[in-house]
Structure 1
Amino acid sequence: MSQTATRVYDELRGEILGGRCTPGARLREEELAERFGVSRTPVREALRRLEADGLAVVTPRRGAEVVRWRDEDIAELVELRALLEGQAARRAATGGGVDLVALTELCDRMEEHAGAEGRAADEITRLNLELHRAVHRASGRLLPDLLVRLIDVPVVRRTFHAYSETELRRSFAQHRELIEAIATGDGDWAAAVMHAHIRAAGATLRAGREPDPR
């Protein structure tokens, strides 16, 4: 992909993941080319890359739009995350390669932001992703690559925006328990905590969604 296409891709990807481009929003080549001051060719390249990432859908003669997440898509995503992240937590606990101090510091920083105005949901989300990725990296060579596309998607990134104060505290407590399980080397415990953590997040996400258009 050309440097120009990469620039367009990076900008659009950030807008989609950050929620500034909403599900179903049209991504028109001509408008994007004018906005970025480029020809339509790099825009087309960027849209194809977004489609490969699962962030956009490109339809011949209709153009592109930001991917829509149906209830069944989210249910499948939660099941896959629970399965794979549970296994990642198990391996992290038994492999001994986790930086427990770094994980604890991430928990501390998330909890500090919870008291800020508006709960600083974007920063909590960033720190949460960093914590999960640290667990993934400690699980081996293949799982991190499998998991990256399951957690770095708009519906996952926006989960903390839907949390109540009680749900937020529950999530933080599960992070602490996960670290304790990893520290003791108990793979079954770590996997169980991660399973519960992912499923609880999925339940909150589904509860806060508008009904699918039919």
Structure 2
Amino acid sequence: MSKAVSKATDLLREQILAERWQQGEKLGEAELAQILGVSRTPVREALTRLAGEGLVTLAPNRGARVATWSSQQVDEIFDLRLLLEPAACAAAITQLSKSEIDELEALARDMQRMGAPGTDRDFVKMAELNRQFHSKLIQASGSTQLLTTLTSVTHISIAVQNYNYYSEEALARSLAHHHEIVAALREGQPDWVESVVRCHLYNARTAMHHRTQGRIPHAAEH
């Protein structure tokens, strides 16, 4: 992948995950090229790659749009993550170096800071840090097939995951889970890792149910 395509892909993915565009919104190549500061060719290739990740839909004569997901599809995505991700994260124990675990801990600390109540709270940056945290864990599983499958469904679930729909209690649990996952990795306890990751995913799925039901919890009011 050329540097221009890589840059366009990463920036577009980040913006989609940050909900710069709504689900179903059209993504014009010319506008994106101007926003990203690249030509239309790398934008076109980036959209194709993101379509492969499930974040974008491409249709003949209709162009590209941000993908849309029904409540049932979101449930199916979380079911798949619950089936695969806890074991994948547990498998990462034997692959992660101390410095890599330190990096995960730094991400957990940054998320804690971004999610703290107050004017500096930044859910957009938090979502990107969350993506990095889970991506690092999945990559360390050592399984190419798991990496391919989970990378796609993780991106989709994070794209529909908006921390504004978390209650303060659910947000606190989510942030604490990241720290506990790191602690379990340091102790080399795969069962502990699996248990925390599973709780973490159930917590996220419950928050997404609140979103689809139109409930506005406490965290959105701060």
1:98 deviates by 4.4
The root-mean-square deviation of aligned C-alpha atoms, in Å, is: 3.3
1:33 deviates by 8.4
- Using the size of structure 2 for normalisation, the TM-score is 0.75
- Using the size of structure 1 for normalisation, the TM-score is 0.77
Post-superposition Cα deviations, 1:66-101, rounded to whole Å, max 9, x if no partner, equal: 2111111111111111222101222123x1624333
Distance 1:61 1:109, change over 3 A: closer
Distance 1:27 1:97, change over 3 A: closer
Which residue of structure 2 lines up, in the alignment, with residue 199 of structure 1? 202
1:97 counterpart letter in structure 2: L
Matches within 5 A, 1:20-169: 20-28=20-28, 32=31, 45-93=45-93, 95=94, 97-99=96-98, 100-115=101-116, 116-117=118-119, 119-142=121-144, 143-153=146-156, 155-156=158-159, 158-169=161-172
CA distance in structure 2 between the partners assigned to 1:154 and 1:192 by the alignment: 19
1:104 counterpart letter in structure 2: E
CA distance in structure 1 between the partners assigned to 2:128 and 2:14 by the alignment: 13
1:122 deviates by 1.9
CA distance in structure 2 between the partners assigned to 1:148 and 1:76 by the alignment: 15
Residues 98 and 134 in structure 1, CA contact (< 8 A), matched pair in contact too: no
Q: What percentage of aligned pairs have identical amino acids? A: 33
2:155 counterpart letter in structure 1: D
For structure 1, which segment, 165-174 or 118-127, has the greater mean C-alpha deviation from structure 2 after superposition? Answer: 118-127
1:73 counterpart letter in structure 2: Q
Larger radius of gyration: 1
Unaligned runs of 5+ in 2: 215-222
CA distance in structure 2 between the partners assigned to 1:133 and 1:42 by the alignment: 24
1:130 deviates by 2.4
Unaligned runs of 5+ in 1: none
